[in-house]
Amino acid sequence: MQQKWQLATQVIHAGREKNESGALVSPMCQSATFVFDSAEQGGARFAGEEQGYIYTRLGNPTTAELERKLAALEGSEAAAATASGMAAVSAALLANLSHGDHLVASNAVYGCTFSLMNSQLSKFGIEVSLVNFSDEAAIKSAIKANTKVIFCETPVNPHLDVYDLDMIARIAKQHNLVSVVDNTFMTPLLQQPIKHGIDIVIHSATKYLNGHGDVIAGVVCASHAQMEVIKFEVLKDVGAVMSPHDAWLILRGLKTLDVRLERHCHNAQNVAEYLAHHPKVAKVYYPGLKSHSGYRLLGRQMRRAGGVIAFELQASFAESIKFVDQLPLFSIAVSLGDAESLIQHPASMTHSPYSDEERSRAGISDSLLRISVGLESIEDIIQALETGLSQLP
């Protein structure tokens, strides 16, 4: 029945089950453990002979509702709710890589995903090659006999580059690799990688899925076979599972995901077009602009261009910092997908540990700024930017 529903209906209804009290909103099950009727029943649950909850690290009714909903939205067989987006990335990779294996990933990835691959996985003898995922030949030539996983996120910071999911899924199938895509910037309402043949989708639910900036959480969506390892081996033993309270908040946030994204995308498109015509703005990176390289994949793999924009000012490092400090309305913060419009300056914040050379290689200029366009009135957002830009020398 759920397959027939539109995604806007599924965010509200998918995964719900009747509860004993008849409450419209599923009650939060804030319990660490579950009581067995008898020792025999406990034994049967541990042996997998009887369905039922045992202990919240292994499963919980509230997180299970969220998992059913996200699996329905992404079109996967199953999902696992995790303690953070990074726990989701870690679980997907740890489940599919062992000592001596190799991983191919895009050279632009979320900062902690980069350090997970380079600092943590490398300790266990897992090798990584980072290549430009816009270049099919570069990906193919990075694949070796011991390559097991191909990983990317799209669109990706700092320039909102968009990678072709059909092409990545095709390469993965040809070389027998597990493909993993971080879908945080899009959500399943704007992009469904599994429909393009990707094996595993991960999210930072901290961002749009929850949408209210009050939870750190993640999710992995994949097949039952993958979930046997991701959830019942890796997450069980590593322990990075989501709390039922966070799952309950995300279930609440998800109900408005469709209407929120409608506004985020509308506002971001307007802001991107406004910035693109402003004389104090040197360049705008947003896949909703015809001038952006990702525009060709809009409609094919992304329904809309999302709510995150990067742009460069005609300004120095110091002037860019001053612009951020003086900008009305926007909060100076990393993260994205919240109701509030946020701004950050990568050169002094997210990418400050980089050397000057690494920064320029990654294309992080002194005046590059990233905004997560919020849900405020578009008139007020544009007015705030107008005020800020008019104060530049």
Considering only residues 203 to 232 of the shown chain, the ones binding ligand PLP according to CB under 6 A are 204, 206-207, 216, 218
**Site for ligand PLP contains 372 (CB under 6 A):** no
**Site for ligand PLP contains 329 (CB under 6 A):** no
Q: What are phi and psi of 54, to 5 degrees?
A: -120, -55
Closest CA to 374 of 330, 333, 344: 330
What's the min distance (Å) between Cβ of 86 and ligand PLP? 4
Q: Could you please report the per-residue DSSP string of 163-202?
A: --HHHHHHHHHHTT-EEEEE-TTT-TTT--GGGGT-SEEE
What's the min distance (Å) between Cβ of 206 and ligand PLP? 4
β-strand pairing of 308-313 with 281-285: antiparallel
Closest CA to 26 of 34, 35, 15: 15
Nearer to ligand PLP, 134 or 314 (CB): 134
161 has catalytic annotation: no
**Site for ligand PLP contains 59 (CB under 6 A):** no
What H or E segment, with its residue span, contains residue 266?
A: helix 257-276
Q: Specify the stretch interacting with ligand PLP by CB under 6 A; choose among 80-88, 116-124, 237-245, 285-293.
A: 80-88
Q: 181-217 burial, b for 16+ CB within 10 Å, e for fewer?
A: bbbbbbbbbbbbbbebebbbbbbbbbbbbbbebebbb
Catalytic residue among 101, 182, 246, 366: 182
**Site for ligand PLP contains 110 (CB under 6 A):** yes
Catalytic residue among 45, 69, 101, 110: 110
Site string for ligand PLP, 167-206 (x = CB under 6 A): ---------------x-xx------------------x-x
Cα–Cα distance for residue pair 70/60, rounded to 1 Å: 15
Nearer to ligand PLP, 141 or 352 (CB): 352
Q: Which two tokens stand for residue 317?
A: 């490092």
182 has catalytic annotation: yes
57 has catalytic annotation: yes
- C-beta of residue 249 within 8 angstroms of C-beta of residue 237: no
Question: Where do contacts with ligand PLP occur on this chain (CB under 6 A)?
Answer: 84-86, 110, 153, 182, 184-185, 204, 206-207, 216, 218
Looking at the annotation, which residues are catalytic?
57, 110, 182, 207
